[in-house]
């Protein structure tokens, strides 16, 4: 049996789309599950869409997500390098290879030179649309002899090379997700294989590359399904062994439409910036269109590899549910070490202006306690700013109705005055003192239970519910607690 070899072959047109990451992930899982090889190839034959830095960003996104590969394009010491025995892995460096195979198709009569202008092609398509036909090339140049075509080229005429599909021919293939598929060539265009700029189209390059790189399974989005007959026909005329095809369902939003930039986050960088953990995003993304037999929802990369198969991939588009993603991501935040989550939180806190680099250096243990205090309540790291804001505020405004009601209680001024009095006797609040602090206030006032704790919480945080009160005392410290109580007594207690 052949060694399983799969590839992810994106175009360097900007960012890595979340749907692209899922395609890469499924390739990765399938390769690892079958002890195969996973290749990263860059398909840059459309030079008009090339974006500077896109290859580096793409590789960085895969690396961040933990989707590793064995061959292809890598970044080392800031430079793009290629590793493996089937290179180059960047299509624009393979132009001579494609030219050789295009020439072979022309000589054997499976492709032809086409001299139609853009204006003529547009006119043909418009006429076809008016007649209610599927717009496609009308074969105008199919019967130009090779001799005449070469003369016209020698005279400097611009041309493309098109695939010469046979008429009324059923192309059959089996898709691991969709089953047996039959498409008739009468419904397919004579596809351009070589553009006028000398670059191959996707359709030519992908077949040549996949064959020469010994790709056994082609795993890609379902938008490529209509192109597959052209690719299979090329395999047939070259006499090459055909790969197995897997067309994945599209990642959809809640309205069952394709995820697009207009509707919000779609790039891996967007999700990274919002504070999703790589394992949270990967775990959730694996479940958008696939599920394990036992319907387990929290899965490590190792478990995903162990359980993955294309038999469990859905035929219909997978819904990308942000709430479900947040739930999965929250699980990983809660199960991570406080050191990791603190380090991830620091850039958000610096950006919010709460802390600076010097603060991090001298008060790291304090920051750890701060993050530990809110870690259970986080779904994404970006939420940390909102969750800890109350600690950094000079004054706390009490807005919630239940909190306002609590602070108006008749015993409140007694409790707050006792807190002020007690704090006069100490220099700083350590953990041991904080743990026994409210017992001292109870003893001094005779107030206990909710009547004691709730007003203290509201006065210090502005809310009736929240994180561990002992931690709040330590985090605020003596001076801030006194300031807050003075402010509340002056502004909320008559």
- Nearest C-alpha neighbor of 140 from the set 165, 156, 121: 121
Is residue 263 within 8 Å of 18, Cβ to Cβ?
A: no
Cα gap 238→110, rounded to integer Å: 10
65 contact partners, CB below 8 Å, separation of at least 6: 21, 25, 268, 278, 281, 282
Two tokens at 92?
Answer: 């624009």
The tokens for 438 are: 């409210």
Alpha carbons 347 and 349: distance in angstroms, whole number: 5
Phi, psi of 214 (to 5 degrees): 55, 40
Beta-carbon-side half-sphere exposure of residue 328 (alpha carbons within 13 Å): 24
Q: Which residues pair with 40 in a beta bridge?
A: 8, 72
Question: Which residue in this structure is represented by tokens 């990967």?
Answer: 282
Q: Which of 229, 194, 196 is nearest to 97 (CA)?
A: 194
Active site residue 490: no
**Cβ(265)–Cβ(274) below 8 Å:** yes
DSSP calls for 314-363: -SSPEE--HHHHHHHHHHHHHTS-HHHHHHHHHHHHHHTTS--HHHHHH-
Buried b (16+ CB within 10 A) or exposed e, 280-312: bbbbbbbbbbbbbeeeeeebebeebbebbebee
Peptide bond into 313 cis (omega under 30): no
Helix extents (H) in 352-468 = 357-362, 364-374, 384-392, 401-407, 412-423, 431-445, 450-461
Task: Judge whether 261 is annotated as a binding position.
Answer: yes
In the set 261, 363, 393, 439, the catalytic residue is 261
Strand partners, 220: 247
**Exposed / middle / buried, residue 17 (Cβ in 10 Å: 0-12, 13-18, 19+):** buried
Helices 412-423, 431-445: axis angle to 10 degrees equals 130
Which sequence positions are flagged as catalytic?
Answer: 261
**Residues placed in the known binding site for ATP:** 261
């Amino acid at each position: 049996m052949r060694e399983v070899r799969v590839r992810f072959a994106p175009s360097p047109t900007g960012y890595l789309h979340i749907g692209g990451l899922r395609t890469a992930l499924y390739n990765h899982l399938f390769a690892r599950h079958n002890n195969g090889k996973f290749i990263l190839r860059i398909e840059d034959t459309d030079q008009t869409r090339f974006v500077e830095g896109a290859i580096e960003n793409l590789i960085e996104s895969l690396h961040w997500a933990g989707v590793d590969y064995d061959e292809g394009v890598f970044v080392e010491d800031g430079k793009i390098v290629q590793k493996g025995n089937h290179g180059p892995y960047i299509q624009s460096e393979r132009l001579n290879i494609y030219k050789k195979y295009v020439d072979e198709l022309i000589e054997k009569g499976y492709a032809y030179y086409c001299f139609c202008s853009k204006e003529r092609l547009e006119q043909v398509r418009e006429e076809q649309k008016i007649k209610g036909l599927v717009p496609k090339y009308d074969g105008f140049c199919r019967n130009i002899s090779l001799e005449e075509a070469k003369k016209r080229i020698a005279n400097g005429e611009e041309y493309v090379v098109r695939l010469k599909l046979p008429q009324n021919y059923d192309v059959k293939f089996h898709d691991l997700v969709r089953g047996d598929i039959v498409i008739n060539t009468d419904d397919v265009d004579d596809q351009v294989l070589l553009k006028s700029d000398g670059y191959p189209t996707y359709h030519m390059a992908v077949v040549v590359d996949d064959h020469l790189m010994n790709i056994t399974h082609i795993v890609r989005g379902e938008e490529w399904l209509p192109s597959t007959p052209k690719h299979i026909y090329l395999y047939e005329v070259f006499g090459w062994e055909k790969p197995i095809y897997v067309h994945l369902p599209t990642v959809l939003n809640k309205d069952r439409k394709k995820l697009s930039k207009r509707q919000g986050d779609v790039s891996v960088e967007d999700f990274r910036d919002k504070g999703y953990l790589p394992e949270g995003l990967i775990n959730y993304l694996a479940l958008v269109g696939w599920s394990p037999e036992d319907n387990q929802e929290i899965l490590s990369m190792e478990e995903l590899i162990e359980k993955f198969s294309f038999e469990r991939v859905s035929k219909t588009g997978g819904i990308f549910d942000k709430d479900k993603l947040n739930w999965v991501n929250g699980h990983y935040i809660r199960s991570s070490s406080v050191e990791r989550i603190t380090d991830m939180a620091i850039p958000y806190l610096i950006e919010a202006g709460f802390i600076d680099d010097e603060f991090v250096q001298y008060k790291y243990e304090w920051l750890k306690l701060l993050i530990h205090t809110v870690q259970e309540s986080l779904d994404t790291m970006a939420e940390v700013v909102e969750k800890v804001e109350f600690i950094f505020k000079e004054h706390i405004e009490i807005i919630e109705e239940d909190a306002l009601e609590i602070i108006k209680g008749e015993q409140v001024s007694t409790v707050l005055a006792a807190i002020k009095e007690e704090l006069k006797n100490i220099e700083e609040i350590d953990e041991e003192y904080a743990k026994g602090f409210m017992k001292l206030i109870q003893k001094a006032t005779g107030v206990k239970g909710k009547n004691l704790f709730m007003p203290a919480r509201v006065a210090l945080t502005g809310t009736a519910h929240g994180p561990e009160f002992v931690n709040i005392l330590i985090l605020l410290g003596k001076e801030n607690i006194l300031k807050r109580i003075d402010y509340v007594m002056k502004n909320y207690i008559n």
